[in-house]
Amino acid sequence: MHGRPRKSLKPEDTTALSAKVENLRSLHSQFLTNHHNRIYTKEALDLNAKLVENNPEWHTAWNYRKVAVQNFLSPSEIDLDYVKSIIDEELRVVESALRNNFKSYGAWHHRKWVLSKGHSSIDNELRLLDAFQKLDGRNFHAWNYRRFVTALMKRSDEDEMKYTKELIDDNFSNYSAWHNVDYILLSNLLKRKADGYFPKENVLEEEYELVQNALFTDPDDQSGWFYHLWLIDQTVKTDAPILVSSWPFHGSTITLQGNKCLYGSGSSVVNCTLSDIE
């Protein structure tokens, strides 16, 4: 995927994979029993943790986990330290699952759900995101979650712009970072005329210089070209749609033939040049 060839498995890897599949089948069976019987004990939750850590893509298992955790948090009078211990365990489970597959929709969505409960350090989330984005800066799941976290922190667009530009400087091919600059950050900063982002013409000129460096470095990479297209859209605004092409082309001759004339019963052929038609 993405130009990276898949490596063939070695015999020992095949054996280990078969053992892992058998273990997952056993966990699946036990989990489904707990799920269907609405068993939300600590033992059931521990078993579920083993399942989602090894198979983060099973959304049913994450949904069950939400119900089970909510069941533990439901009593009206509950110790705050106890609540924090449950939240911390959820964050640990999700992090373990993400280290197995850091592009799992279910895992990122569950972490967002956990964080919305409070009782956890948001600063720690940025440290975790930094680690994941160093592994793969193009991971749009991590970028989406980062925007969620920075919104909770009320982190300024200026700080996020600085962070994002640093990632672009490290790797011009980081499409997700370019996207974070244009649609999310630069649009907001330009709209509210933030300090250093006005007048718009000066800002766009600087952005053109940045993206030109990227295009000269690797002209075959699409990331910079997409951003360049967005900059053009910000620069050139028209009141009416631009005609890109038409058919038939100007000056061509077209023939119209009908079965009957307007006055009479015979057929009629009319030739005209497109340039004559207003």
pLDDT tens per residue, range 194-246 = 998 889 899 999 999 999 999 998 888 888 899 998 889 888 776 656 665 66
pLDDT (0 to 100) of residue 260: 53
In a domain, 251, yes or no: no
In a domain, 104, yes or no: yes
Place of tokens 């015979």: 266
In a domain, 273, yes or no: no
Task: Tell me, yes or no, whether 170 and 88 share the same domain.
Answer: no
Task: Tell me, yes or no, whether 102 and 180 share the same domain.
Answer: no
User: How many CB atoms are closer than 10 A to CB 47?
Assistant: 17
Task: Tell me, yes or no, whether 28 and 86 share the same domain.
Answer: yes
In a domain, 267, yes or no: no
On whether the CB atoms of residues 61 and 51 are closer than 8 A, the answer is yes
Question: Can you tell me the mean pLDDT for 37-58?
Answer: 95
Task: Tell me, yes or no, whether 25 and 84 share the same domain.
Answer: yes
pLDDT, averaged across the chain: 83
Task: Tell me, yes or no, whether 19 and 111 share the same domain.
Answer: yes
Report the C-alpha dihedral over residues 9, 15, 21, 26, rounded to 10 degrees.
Answer: -170
Q: Residue 187 — pLDDT band, cuts 50, 70, 90?
A: confident
Q: Residue 107 — pLDDT band, cuts 50, 70, 90?
A: very high
Helix, strand or coil, per DSSP, at residue 270: strand
In a domain, 245, yes or no: no
pLDDT (0 to 100) of residue 15: 67
Give the chain's domain count: 2
Among 170, 169, 171, smallest CA distance to 210 is for 169
Place of tokens 């620069």: 235
Task: Tell me, yes or no, whether 187 and 99 share the same domain.
Answer: no
- Return the structure tokens found at 80: 């705050």
Q: Quote the CA–CA distance of 14 and 37 in Å, as a whole number.
A: 35
Task: Tell me, yes or no, whether 178 and 226 share the same domain.
Answer: yes
Task: Tell me, yes or no, whether 113 and 161 share the same domain.
Answer: no
Residue 268 bridge partners (DSSP):
258
pLDDT (0 to 100) of residue 105: 95
User: How many CB atoms are closer than 10 A to CB 50?
Assistant: 17
Task: Tell me, yes or no, whether 107 and 171 share the same domain.
Answer: no
- Residue 169 domain boundaries: 156-237
9-13, 246-250, 257-261: least confident range: 257-261
In a domain, 74, yes or no: yes
- Return the structure tokens found at 245: 């092409």
pLDDT (0 to 100) of residue 77: 61
pLDDT (0 to 100) of residue 2: 46
In the chain, where does DSSP find H-type helix?
11-36, 42-54, 59-73, 80-100, 105-115, 122-135, 140-153, 157-170, 175-179, 187-191, 200-217, 222-235
Task: Tell me, yes or no, whether 22 and 111 share the same domain.
Answer: yes
Among 137, 69, 126, 66, smallest CA distance to 103 is for 137
In a domain, 38, yes or no: yes
Question: Can you tell me the mean pLDDT for 47-76?
Answer: 93
Q: Of the candidates 222, 237, 252, which is a domain's last residue? A: 237
Measured CA distances, 206 to 159, 185, 198, 199, 262 (Å): 18, 15, 12, 12, 64
In a domain, 20, yes or no: yes
Q: Which has more confidence, 84 or 14? A: 84
